Structure 1
Amino acid sequence: MSAPLKRHASNDAESNTTKLSTTQSKDKLLNIFIGWLSENGFNVNPKVIVTKEGSCAQYGLVAVEDIDEQEVLFQILRPLLLSPETTVIADVLEKEEDHIQSESGWVSTILALLYEYNNPSSKWRPYLDLVLDFKELDLPMLWARSEREDLLQGTGTNETVEKDLQNIEKEFEMVVLPFIKRHPDLFSKSCEDIELYKRMVAFVMAYSFTEPWSSAQDEEEDEENSGSSQPMIVPLADILNHVAKNNAHLTFENEVLKMVAIRNIRKGEEVFNTYGELSNQHLLHMYGFAEPYPNNHYDTVEIPIKLLVHAAQDVIGYSEDAFSRKKKVLHEMGLYADGVTMVVGIDGILSEEETYQTLKILTMSKEDLDVLEENDGWLEEEDESKEESLNFQHIKLLPDQWKEILSRCAKVTLQQYKDSIEEDSKSLSDCTKLTSRQKYSLYTKYGQKQILHKLTSACLK
């Protein structure tokens, strides 16, 4: 993952690759950081430089010579990772491990970061001085609630952020604050500020990497643990900007982490990592930006299954008893519940099994529902072989009633947005008048609406 101040590569930014600076004398912090990299064995390939010029946003890594596929661009020795194991207060965190457990699993990492951020002599000082700029943190969790509600209506992002904030505040009051107060020799009074803690959470959310468990632990440890490891801060790697079709990848080895070119990179091109196969909603939520339609081929819209169920009621008009029975069956199957969604991507419905099962039950006759209730579970295996693909090309093959329900569901979802797709298109015609928050929120809404219109169109065929 990378920093919230990082952005995707826009068309304008991709063409801006000629003004490369050979000196960084105007940027004292960058010079100090580059010196720190050299002193700490990062072995930065001389074919790349850290710079603002030629980068699509803030700092980035730009090629000053042609780079071949599989070339190592830089490495990070494991002691230089900022984590609960490498911080100065590692012993304290280990000793109090049982007292700083939390649902997020991030507390020890955030406490390590909080301590090092406030430590003038931290060995990560040159890195933190360059990268940890709270003025650049612009994730929705740091926006005013009124602005989130206005800009993100209908996207699902605001609801996710509200849950995050509730969990963060609970975690701070019950776990973090008591720890800080137990160690006044390590943390000043300023660290007791919930707003500072929120920014630390945002920093970890946007900057941190999580090591693949298989490469971090052996098989015995894998069996004993939940399968995920602590997030860690990886200096320099988190400076790389994001694009879905990245040209570099971070590898994890026993002694070092390495950033490796995964395709040829030409002189003047920026080096890009990727945050993963993330929709605009998740990019905005975690990093504070989104990609313009149709650049993000991982974009999705998530529709609550409950909304699909109520769309079926609109189409079919169940009796009260029939509707109650169907909801009960779906609930027992784990489908009619908060957080369960129908995920629709740019090529069709991605949550095929859950959507198929739901539609099957919603259109099931009373007799078949009786049989299903007797079986007390999912549809039998013989039905699974009959499932049709739910991509847009094959939706036309579904029963008409299924298509009516899907179409109704998409239309109801479209009504939840503040503006129409036509109004969004007009606003997008001149993005220069928009703030970054308005622009990225608009990218998110417009992309989702395009997907929903594709779904309604597929149901007409």
Structure 2
Amino acid sequence: MEMAARRVRAFKRWMKREGIQCSDALDLTVSATQGLSVTALADLHVGDAVARIPKATCLTVITTAARDMIDAAGLDGSLGLAVAIMHERSLGEQSHWAPYLAVLPEQEPIPLVWTAEELLRGTELHDTVKEDRGVMLEDWKESIEPLQDQIGSTQFESFFGFEEYLAARTLVASRSFQIDDHYHGVGMVPLADIFNHKTAAEDVHLNTSASTENSESDTTENSGSEEGNESANESTTSTTSSVGASTNDDVASSATDDDGDDDDLEMVMVKDVKVGAEVFNTYGLLGNAALLHRYGFTEPDNPFDIVNIDLELVLQWSASLFSGQHRRARLSLWRRLGYSGCASHNSEYFEISFNGEPPNELLLLLYIMLLQQDAYDKIDLALATTGNSNGHMDGILSDKTEKLSDITAEFSEAVLLTNTICNALLSLADMRESLYGKNSIQDDIEALKRCCSIKEKKLYHSLMLRISERRIIQKFRTFATSGSQVTTGEQASPRKKLKRK
């Protein structure tokens, strides 16, 4: 702890030398349980500017000592920034950013660098993480390994190996910011990446001082890490609750600068914070899978959690009922009507929301998959002859209480939640649940109670993710079992309109 505190003090001295202004009302502190974090030493109010960070102090592909090498190799974005981090680390105390790099962890504990893949079994991250490592290895071989001749074998093996590259990428993933669009691009922003995340509870926001009058259009994409930062009671500025606001002359001069370095990044309070409370940034409205994937942590009762039902899983379900020809024909009809699931890489899926509700696109696919042959033939013929299915959905739904004059009209639960579709949803819930293995959700809950969130962070957060996903599946089941009640006369709740591709 004392070593960490000394590093934070050195970092604060470095910030002062570099012209990074940090309000006296912010306290950077270190704790054994939370790591680095920022707390308020005085009441903070909306509009207070609590930090100003010159772009030149940010570690980017433009400011790094490795700029020429990165340019020559044609690298940019996250890959280029990872090379910049590795190079600056290789310089040790000679690096311009040595005090800043010293307060950062060697790597963030995100699943990309986990070895126990079984911890993620069944979760949204299980396949994603394996794919990530494969992509990273390809990047390293194609873009980093060829730099060995320029760097030298000894230095390359010590600082530019694949594991070192992964470590740098974890920092980029969890701490980098989009500084601007055309000059620096993505970069590491000292001080800004110390603020911890809280979903939908942003206290402070980072934007450029050159655009204070139009922050909506020029705000950065905030990132950061779970581990935040701490410090002693030293101040780096002489102000009390905020750093000075820029004058109109400042705005004019920075706005006309060509190299993008003169306009500072500014951190401004967007919410009142009481003295003694932690000051949070937010990395976006992210569910636990996204939080763990990018930042290495989860949050209890995260309202942005989702569970995906892969299209492949739907096709597996249909394989137990229908021939391959039937499945292909019904899927083709669904697509020809203009619908699809969400797409990511080479997969297509349907998002089950936090409250367990499936998207209409999934319900419609199941509806079409279960259509009687004559109803299917009517739509197929209409599409084949006119390319227009208008009017034919009325025929399909003629036995329902609601008729639809156009397929793009709003489908109600009374139309889509038939008993057969509800049974299909329950089957999909069982199939999705089986991916987690033999342990029940109650087993996971008991394991979480025995787990130490500090000493067993990987296990703790993987269990949190599993439990949050499995609770959504439970709600999904409830939705399906209650759906049949809708078809027997209860009032249907309004649903979103179907989205065409």
- TM-score tier, shorter chain, comes to 0.7 to 0.9
Matched ranges for 1:112-131 at <5 A: 112-120=84-92, 121-131=94-104
How far is 1:331 from its partner?
A: 6.9
Equivalents in 2 of 1:261, 1:414: separation in Å?
Answer: 42
Pick aligned residue for 1:216 from 176, 181, 187: 181
Residue equivalent to 1:165: 133
Per-residue CA deviation, residues 204-249 of structure 1 (Å, 9 max, x unaligned), is 11111224xxx635xxx9xxxxxxx843111111111111122122
Residue equivalent to 2:462: 441
Structure 1 378/108 Cα, relative in aligned 2: closer, same or farther at 3 Å? farther
Pick aligned residue for 2:10 from 27, 32, 35: 32
How far is 1:132 from its partner?
A: 3.5
1:62 counterpart = 2:17: no
Equivalents in 2 of 1:331, 1:261: separation in Å?
Answer: 47
How far is 1:370 from its partner?
A: 1.8
Equivalents in 1 of 2:386, 2:341: separation in Å?
Answer: 14
User: 1:342, 1:349 within 8 Å by CA — same for their partners in 2?
Assistant: no
Residue equivalent to 1:391: none
1:367 counterpart = 2:377: yes
Equivalents in 2 of 1:124, 1:404: separation in Å?
Answer: 59
Equivalents in 1 of 2:414, 2:114: separation in Å?
Answer: 39
User: 1:106, 1:230 within 8 Å by CA — same for their partners in 2?
Assistant: no
Aligned length: 405
How far is 1:171 from its partner?
A: 0.9
Matched ranges for 1:8-19 at <5 A: none
1:278 counterpart = 2:286: yes
Residue equivalent to 1:247: 203
How far is 1:40 from its partner?
A: 1.7
Residue equivalent to 1:322: 326
SS in 2 for 1:270: coil
SS in 1 for 2:56: helix
Pick aligned residue for 1:77 from 42, 50, 54: 54
Equivalents in 2 of 1:375, 1:152: separation in Å?
Answer: 49
Pick aligned residue for 1:235 from 164, 179, 190: 190
In structure 2, what residue type is equivalent to 1:58?
G
Work out the percentage of aligned pairs sharing the same amino acid: 23
Residue equivalent to 1:387: 411
Per-residue CA deviation, residues 252-304 of structure 1 (Å, 9 max, x unaligned), is 34412122211110010001111211111111111211112x2x111111121
SS in 1 for 2:44: coil
User: 2:379, 2:389 within 8 Å by CA — same for their partners in 1?
Assistant: no
1:409 counterpart = 2:440: no
User: 1:25, 1:31 within 8 Å by CA — same for their partners in 2?
Assistant: no
Residue equivalent to 1:148: 117
SS in 2 for 1:123: coil
Gaps of 5+ in 1: 1-20, 222-228, 389-393
In structure 2, what residue type is equivalent to 1:132?
P
How far is 1:340 from its partner?
A: 1.1
How far is 1:382 from its partner?
A: 2.0
TM-score, normalisation: structure 2: 0.73
Equivalents in 1 of 2:78, 2:206: separation in Å?
Answer: 21
Equivalents in 2 of 1:261, 1:88: separation in Å?
Answer: 33
User: 2:340, 2:361 within 8 Å by CA — same for their partners in 1?
Assistant: no
User: 1:395, 1:403 within 8 Å by CA — same for their partners in 2?
Assistant: no
In structure 2, what residue type is equivalent to 1:386?
E
How far is 1:330 from its partner?
A: 5.4
Equivalents in 2 of 1:336, 1:283: separation in Å?
Answer: 19
RMSD across aligned C-alpha pairs, in angstroms? 3.1
Structure 1 385/327 Cα, relative in aligned 2: closer, same or farther at 3 Å? closer
TM-score, normalisation: structure 1: 0.79
1:345 counterpart = 2:346: no
